[in-house]
Amino acid sequence: MNAMPPLEVKTTNPAVLAFVEDSRALFKPERVRWCNGSKWEYQELLKSLVDAGTAQWLNPARRPNSILVRSDPADVARVEDQTFICSLSKEDAGPTNNWADPAEMKATLTQLYDGAMAGRTMYVVPYSMGPIGSPIAGIGVMVTDSAYAVANMHIMTRVGDKVLEALGQSPDFVRGRHTVGYPLSTPSTADVPWPCDKTKYISHFPETREIWSYGSGYGGNALLGKKCHALRIASVKARDEGWMAEHMLILKLTNPEGRVKYIAAAFPSACGKTNLAMLVPTIPGWKAETIGDDICWMKFGADGRLYAINPETGFFGVAPGTSNESNLNAMKTLGANIIYSNVALTDDGDVWWEGMSEPPAHAIDWMRRSWTPASGRPAAHPNARFTAPAAQCPVIAKEWDDPAGVPIDAILFGGRRASVVPLVSEALSWRHGTFLGSIMASEKTAAAAGKVGDLRRDPMAMLPFCGYHMGDYFQHWINIGENGGGRMPKIFYVNWFRKSPEGKFLWPGYAENSRVLKWIFERCDDAAQAVETPIGRLPADGALDVAGLNISSEALSELLRVDGDGWKAELPSIREHFATFGAKLPAGLSEELAALEQRLG
């Protein structure tokens, strides 16, 4: 880690220089290194991780230029209970966020930060979320003592001198501070393969566009460009400036005639988001390509339409469950130049995780223990990850890094519902679509048998990621719709997980979801038939292309049935959910709920 010499500073921006100098004085590192974003630098970072015992090289014949990292068992996931929105007013953080007084939080963290990088390198990481120079993109400068975090930022964002050039003398950048909180206070202090602290804080200061992270080296807590900047801080910036920062994939869909539509989609975890982003359509002549799998920033273009970019350059994906069957294109992306975290190591120096393939006869598990299929425990951590360059995805669209972005035609919401919610419905209006997004829910395992179980509402899949009061967030959605008028994308609600009374999935899902996308594509041109129902517009009889699909007419009928009684039974739950937001719940959503109740009769 110490082998990397400091490079010359490539900026005279006084705000950047002051931020870095203040951080240096606070953290007291042994050295400061400005990251230039070069390939050489990335390779040096990997080497430093291997030299420190944090990582090991995988078999180059199987996974060229790839490493396996194993974290401390106490540092394996986002720490949502220690994630804070430190807005000036508690009310602005709202009921769904942990709030802390910004002055008090900064006092607490300043004490923890004091000398926290002793004996270490402080890396300065200038990064761009989105194509450098794009009017939709945003810039951040992050300091960290984690080479693992810097290497991941190299894959996930655009890092280096070009970012500083684009920033020029502007003070408009997100300031990120991160330390693992494990100083090498004396020359005799022994380092460890995965330094971290039991105390952890992920704190966001929305008004000053700052992120202060302490104690964790795990990706979601340490890659400050990801959820911290791209969603929590960006959502506030978007509210203030009249655009949208959303937890959505972006997909390019081309029909057999060569016409293109761009679709954004928000799903809670475990609802097939990455699978949809890398879909292989089963309908002849249709083509799907990936723009992004996780985050979508949208601004109005000169023509009044919403244009989106994927602000990331990589995929930070959950490995367990990813396979050739569930997501062939993801697996094809993972051949080389990957950082694997907390997966198992096979005896021939390759990686393995649950759901990937038949288990190996023997492996080393994520905690460095000998493992066999008879061990009775997972070989990979359930939240094991891969960090992969997006450019390696075989179906990445040519315009995925176009600075102008792509015009969004449709927005999808969805959750995991065994009953009530049909396969697909089209919102009656933008406001009705906002209502559908605001009540998005997935059933917990209680619903596994097909009964209506415990619902977890996750509005727009933004519950852990909205940087301000969600009542105001809903109002922002309504405002955006009013600003865009008739040029706004159509909104749809999908549910791949509806079950029969016997508890069997009615829809095959995965690649067959392209059939639903075809109907959505055609609805955007008013070319597919729909029927008006109390909950929205559903495919008319015969409008959904099921040619060649082995599905019974009874199953199809059930998938597209409007369960009026089920919706009526859910109204009290929706009211209870809306009550969470108090006086800040937009009147427009209360009106949509009342209208739904009236339509249900």
Nearest to 6, CA basis, from 165, 123, 129: 123
Q: Which position among 86, 196, 271, 296 bears the catalytic label?
A: 271
Distance CA 416, CA 456 (A): 10
Strand partners, 67: 57, 339
Name the strands in the sheet holding 296-300, side by side, starting at the edge strand that comes first in the sequence: 244-246, 296-300, 306-309, 406-407
Distance CA 71, CA 148 (A): 10
Question: 């009147």: which residue's tokens?
Answer: 587
Nearest to 460, CA basis, from 481, 435, 483: 435
DSSP label at 408? -
- Please say whether the beta carbons of 91 and 187 come within 8 A: no
Distance CA 12, CA 247 (A): 34
For residue 428, report the phi and psi dihedrals to the nearest 5 degrees: -75, -20
526's tokens? 């008013």
**CA–centroid distance for 464 within its chain:** 11
How would you classify residue 294: left for phi > 0, otherwise alpha for psi between -120 and 50, otherwise beta?
Answer: alpha
Distance CA 318, CA 325 (A): 15
Strand partners, 533: 536
| CA-angle at 5, arms to 229 and 151, nearest 5° | 35
CB atoms within 10 A of CB 201: 22
Name the strands in the sheet holding 370-371, side by side, starting at the edge strand that comes first in the sequence: 351-352, 344-346, 363-364, 370-371
Active site residue 393: no
Per-residue burial over 506-529, b if 16 or more Cβ lie within 10 Å, else e, is bbeebbbbbbbbbbbbbbbeeebe
Which residues are tagged catalytic?
Answer: 271
